Amino acid sequence: MKRSFIREILEHTSSDTISFAGGLPDASLFPTIELQQATQTALADNSIWQYSTSTGYAPLKALIAQMYCDKGFPTTAEEILITSGSQQGLDIICRYHSGVSIIIESPSYLGALNIFKLNNMNEHSVSLNSKGIEIEAFKTSIKESQLTYLIPDFQNPSGTCYSKEHREEIAKLLGASDTLLIEDSPYSELYFDKPQQSISQALPKQSYHLGSFSKVLSPALRIGWIRADKSLTSPLIAYKEAMDLHTSSITQAIAYEYLKDTEQFNEHLETLRSAYKEKMLYFANALDEILPSFEYTRPKGGMFIYGKFEGVDTMLFVEKCLEKGVVFVPGSEFGGKADEIRFNFTHSSLPLIREGLKRIKLCLYKGLE
């Protein structure tokens, strides 16, 4: 079993390597002061230090359910299962459904691909186009698959955001089948201009909707969740208990204390959206200027720019770049083509974005000699 390229890179890069590799948020935007205040309040409650319920901290579940209701997606606290990151949510679902056939986007999230392999799932890869997964191939695969794994909002790695029509079409096709949807949505709040409705909203009894506070609050909290009909979450609880009994009550209580001030959280989301939009524009403009041969589409949200250096083997290329102190992820790691690359644009500061792209330029010319 191959480890994640990105997690290995994170371990081996030195502090002066410029990393466009991991899906890391901009650390300067963590609401550190407010989280410290929330921590103080949370830790003062003696009961928080005790073992807790398997499905999650009740006030946090109620708050997450309310977030869905506010979006017009009726949800009760009973339909929320808190997990240790959305990564664990996906793992739990796949352990329960191990060995079944699953439709996946190509390319797709590396951490998910590893879960599918570990659970002996039979993958049906369907290509993405600019509107989402290719419908004709999806229609064929649906007949042979029990599950579908999609990341419709600013997909990792491609940055694709499914159009409204595409979402409706997929909901219709799934609704007419017995295939369950796993909709992974860690980036859905990171839109630059307007939000999209989740596909799960049209399939409330036939979907697992995965959410996470990693990209919008802090990944160190390790809080994610599964939103699904009770008939779907009930059999998952035994798996959650087998894995870790429950997600840390301490981080759940901290998140709750921070999130209960909804105005504060909404302002934070606004700050993230505008800061990330600015960073994406900066990264894209610098790419056009420094590396004009890189072909890509500007994303409308999320954390990634995906594209290609036509004909360049990016797996060999990244090794050269690492020597020059800059790193990104080759598209082949996600099941993409050999000349594709994923850049994360949120983590590095503006001067480091420029410096990193200049280092890549140096390697590109050398590589083509």
Ligand X SMILES: Cc1ncc(COP(=O)(O)O)c(C=O)c1O
SS3 category, 296:
strand
Q: What sections of the chain are H helices per DSSP?
A: 5-12, 32-43, 58-70, 85-96, 110-118, 135-142, 164-175, 230-233, 237-244, 249-259, 262-290, 314-323, 350-368
> Of 156 and 312, which CB lies nearer to ligand X in the complex structure?
156
Q: Is 219 in the site for ligand X (CB under 6 A)?
A: yes
Minimum distance of ligand X from residue 183's CB (angstroms): 10
Minimum distance of ligand X from residue 23's CB (angstroms): 4
User: Which residue(s) pair with 287 in the sheet?
Assistant: none
* Alpha-carbon distance values, 318 to 9, 24, 156, 305, 359 (Å): 11, 19, 19, 16, 11
Q: Is 5 in the site for ligand X (CB under 6 A)?
A: no
**φ, ψ dihedrals at 294, nearest 5°:** -80, 125
Q: Is 56 in the site for ligand X (CB under 6 A)?
A: no
Q: Is 301 in the site for ligand X (CB under 6 A)?
A: no
Give the gyration radius of the chain's Cα atoms.
20
Q: List the structure tokens of 342.
A: 């994923």
| Pick from 89, 206, 290: nearest CA to 80 | 89
Q: Taking contact as CB under 6 A, which single stretch among the options 119-127, 199-207, 212-220, 323-331 is the one that binds ligand X?
A: 212-220
Among 19, 52, 55, 87, binds ligand X (CB under 6 A): 87
Q: Is 201 in the site for ligand X (CB under 6 A)?
A: no
Among 184, 189, 257, 340, binds ligand X (CB under 6 A): 184
Q: List the structure tokens of 35.
A: 């989280």
Window 139-178: contact mask with ligand X (x via CB under 6 A) = ------------x----x----------------------
Among 119, 148, 212, 249, binds ligand X (CB under 6 A): 212
- Classify residue 112 by its DSSP letter: H
Q: How far apart are CA 297 and CA 300, in angstroms?
A: 9
Q: Is 55 in the site for ligand X (CB under 6 A)?
A: no
Q: Is 52 in the site for ligand X (CB under 6 A)?
A: no
Among 57, 68, 109, 283, binds ligand X (CB under 6 A): 109
Minimum distance of ligand X from residue 288's CB (angstroms): 26
Q: Taking contact as CB under 6 A, which single stretch among the options 84-92, 160-168, 195-203, 313-321 is the one that binds ligand X?
A: 84-92
Minimum distance of ligand X from residue 24's CB (angstroms): 9
> Of 214 and 314, which CB lies nearer to ligand X in the complex structure?
214
With vertex at residue 295, the alpha carbon angle to CA 214 and CA 134, rounded to the nearest 5 degrees, is: 70
B/e letters for 69-104, b = 16+ CB within 10 Å, e = fewer, are eeeebebebebbbbbbbbbbbbbbbbbebeebbbbb
Q: List the structure tokens of 43.
A: 């830790």
Q: Is 179 in the site for ligand X (CB under 6 A)?
A: no
Q: Is 339 in the site for ligand X (CB under 6 A)?
A: no
Binding residues for ligand X, rule: CB under 6 A, are 23, 85-87, 109, 111, 151, 156, 184, 186, 212, 214, 219, 224
